[in-house]
Structures are given as C-alpha cells and as structure tokens.
Amino acid sequence: MIPISAENLQESLINIERDVKHLDQKLSHKIMFIAEEIITNIIRHGDFGTNEKQISFNLDIKNNILTFRDNAKEFNMLTHPDPDITLDIKERVPGGLGIYLTKKYAKSIKYSYENGFNILKVYI
C-alpha cells in the first residue's frame, strides 16, 4: 500500500500513470480515472474527525485490482445514490458522477469497514 496525502497526490498519480503506461490504453484510462476519482474524493470529502488522515492505495496490475484504504468515517460508495443522468445538466444536483462512472467502469467493487478503516477494492 502506498501512503497518499493531499501534499503528494500529484506525485502519486504520476507514479500510477507510469505503472500503467504499458497497459492497453482503455484499461490504463479506467485505472487512472478511478484512482484519481476515489483518492480525490477521500481527501476532499472524507470525514476524518480528529483522526490524522491515513490514506493508502495499491494497484495489483496482474489482476487489475485497485485497493483504497482510509481511516475516515465509514462510507460505502456502493450505497451512494446514482445521479439522475436523464435530467438536463442544469437540473442535476452536483456530485456523484465520478462514483457513478467508477461503478460503470468496474467489473465489480467490494467494500468493507475493518478496524476503523474503509477498504474499497475495485476490480477492472
């Protein structure tokens, strides 16, 4: 697991991009989109309360599994309602599109909350 913070987000994303560069372009795009979306959401929206933020990421390229781990308050993105994409953009409530697209890009997603940590596994 690679520790990630707001301070090293760009560096972390550059490293992920380097690691997926050799993959099929469609697959590498999905990995980069999901990694950036989930990590950014954790940093921006995670409720860490008084906890020191602990965010980590692992990419299993061989099996196309992205694992995210954080100590924010329990949040299961799988239960987050999808945005109504049938509405005109001016009528939509902001937010949720990145989670929606992550769900669409993934073959499957598993979530658990263990020992004070959100653990999200995204299978591509």
**Residue in this structure with the two tokens 């329990």, named with its chain if needed:** 74
Query: What does the DSSP 8-state code read for residue 91?
Result: T
pLDDT, residue 81, reads: 80
pLDDT at site 88: 83
- What's the CATH code of the domain at 81? 3.30.565.10
Per residue in 68-121, pLDDT tens? 999 999 999 999 888 778 778 888 777 778 888 999 999 999 999 999 999 999
Render pLDDT for 17-42 as a digit per residue (tens, 0 to 9): 999 999 999 999 999 999 999 999 99
Q: Which tokens in the block code for residue 54?
A: 């602990």
Flag whether the pTM goes above 0.75.
yes
Phi, psi of 69 (to 5 degrees): -140, 130
Show the domain range for 73.
Answer: 2-123
Tally of domains in the chain:
1
- Give the bridge partners for 56, in sequence order: 3, 69
